Structure 1
Amino acid sequence: MDFRRIEIIFLVVFLSLDVFLLVSFHNSQEVISNSTSGVSSTLSDMKKRNISFGKLDKKTGTAYYLGSSPDNTLISNASKLRHQEYEYNQTSYKLISNLGEPIKVTSSNRKDKLDDFLKKESNILFGSEYSYAPQLSTSTEVVYAETGPLGPMYDKTGQIVFTVTDGKVVSYTQTYMKQLDILQEKQATKSERDVITDLYSSSEIPNNSKITYANLAYTKLLEAKGSTIYIPVWFISIHNKDSKVDTVKKVNAFTGNLLKTSSNGDEYSNE
């Protein structure tokens, strides 16, 4: 056997492999550099067009497809409630309550007062499992979203909605998901920075505007066979400085596609 020849062959193979790996690494660095340069250029262009925003997180994350089935947990525990009159909708699994003693609030203190109100189970069932959702709230409605270890749920199947009338919280509605099931292995999600720059590149962010909130939360994708499927969505709130109008863009955190709401309340891709 010609060992000298074998040595030469192995040497050539290894040298070729080294060259291939070196070229691949160089190309990947060029792609990263070009991508970073493109994002920086987009951000600079946004500033020139008077679009203001805070520090945008460029880190990607992971999330899941989730599923749940409705149940009657709320009405089963409703006897714990005090100083309110309630009824229960068996179709929507929604608790509807009128407070015996309305809560006086202002625009500046309503969150703090309702945070305290939620701490007592005689006021709100499972109140500690909800958190304030500024993007979903208005001057007449204060919304709290069910929030678990996987993140908040910006969906009507897991919310408390307080009604504000003449400076008083007079009533609320509540929905609750007792359990969320992970349907698939975790997948990568888009970063806050990538989602916002993509929205701008798609002409979804007007000139002279401000990004006021950017939250990642789960929301309903569809209902199938009595169960609800949820996906992670970026909720991007945009304030138009000219019209003074606030809008919320919803982006699929897995794909980056802009979502719209169908007539039955399900989300669907705009692309």
Structure 2
Amino acid sequence: MDWGRIKTIFIIAFLILDIFLLTQLQVKREQYEVTADTTLEERLKADGIEYGDLPNETVKDHYLSADTMTFTKEMFKGLKDQHIQLEDGTIIHSQLKKSFPIEDFDKFLDLDKFVEENVLNGEQYAFWEYDKEDNSITYYQQVESKFIFMNQSAHIIFHLNEDGEVTSYDQTMLDPIKSISDEEEEVLLPIRAVEALYHRGAISDSEIIDVKLGYYTLVNMEATQVLTPTWHVLVEKDGERMDMLVNAYEGTVIQGKPDKEKTLLE
């Protein structure tokens, strides 16, 4: 028996098999790259997902550390016509001596002015939502002009009466807020946040209303939080708007809960 010839035949056969497998692998890789890079828009459209122009410029950001603010009575000396109580030194309960009427329930410009002039460090907060069911209005604290999303330690909740007038509010605050590192890292593009939600099956037959960069709590200790850059994606489906959050570094969908204990993504 010619073992040398048989050995040669086996070697040639294995080489042919290796070349075939490598060719198939390359074909699969090219197909995946085409699917991943060139057809996302088509897949979103096919699943009834609408969205406008999304920013595509490179953005860099950083992690932040934030401490829970401890309030003192001396801080409220400049605030008039309010009866203020402190809870554990970290929550302000304010009862207005005279209710504040809201004239514009679309833009809340009058309430913005009230916050700036009558709330401690009010210039650091901005309007977030009006909840008709709870008859309340939420403002969240901002840092570097970006919202700190869904944070019970960085908000103002205004309580309204039946006439749509503010009668009281509760306030919490994070301070100081500092960058953990001087080095900034590039965040994912907004379309990648939309893609992450798409892969979770969370946004079919819906419209992307807005995509906004802010911060969300990554680590929550007793008195200190670590905040990570986060994309907030506002989605409208069947007439209902939903707030969804995606980690702007990792692209992971955040299973967070807002103040009302409603999940952002079921």
Max radius of gyration: which structure?
A: 2
Out of 217, 225, 228, the residue aligned to residue 225 of structure 2 is 228
Corresponding residue for residue 39 of structure 2:
41
Out of 240, 245, 249, which is 1:250 matched to? 245
Q: Identify if the C-alpha distance between structure 1 residues 77 and 43 changes in structure 2 by more than 3 Å, giving closer, same or farther.
A: same
**C-alpha distance in 2, partners of 1:106/1:264?**
26
Deviation of the 1:258 alpha carbon: 0.7
Q: State the distance in 1 between where 2:80 and 2:44 align.
A: 52
Q: Measured at CA, do residues 55 and 74 of structure 1 come closer, stay the same or move farther in structure 2, by a change above 3 Å?
A: farther
Q: TM-score, normalised by structure 1?
A: 0.73
Change (3 A) 1:45 1:145: same
Tell me what 1:165 maps to: 161
Indicate whether 1:145 and 2:140 are aligned. yes
Per the alignment, residue 234 of structure 2 pairs with: 237
Structure 1 residue 103, shift from structure 2 partner: 2.1
Q: Quickly say closer, same or farther: Cα 1:192–1:101, change in 2 above 3 A.
A: same
Cα deviation for residue 72 of structure 1 reads 2.1
Provide the rounded CA distance (Å) in 1 between the counterparts of 2:51 and 2:156.
29
User: What percentage of residue pairs aligned between the two structures are identical?
Assistant: 19
Q: 1:264, 1:131 → 2: CA distance?
A: 16
1:127 matched to 2:122? The reply is yes
Give the match for residue 25 of structure 1: none
> How do residues 3-42 of structure 1 correspond to structure 2 at under 5 angstroms?
38=36, 41-42=39-40
Instruction: Provide the C-alpha distance between the structure 1 equivalents of 2:45 and 2:127, rounded to a whole number of angstroms.
Output: 30
Give the structure 1 partner of residue 192 of structure 2.
Answer: 194
Deviation of 1:259 after TM superposition, in Å, equals: 1.0
Paired letter, 2:47: R
Q: CA deviation at 1:54?
A: 1.8
Structure 1 residues 107 and 52: alpha-carbon distance in aligned structure 2, compared to 1, 3 A threshold: farther
Report the equivalent of 2:110.
Answer: 113
Alignment coverage as a number of residue pairs: 226
- Paired residue secondary structure (1:98): strand
Unaligned runs of 5+ in 1: 1-30
Contact 2:217 2:228 in 1 (8 A): yes
1:104-125 C-alpha deviation (Å, 9 max, x unpaired): 22663461111111231xx111
CA RMSD of aligned residues (A): 2.9
The offset of 1:133, in angstroms, is 2.1
Gap runs ≥5 in structure 2: 1-29
Report what 1:11 is aligned to. none
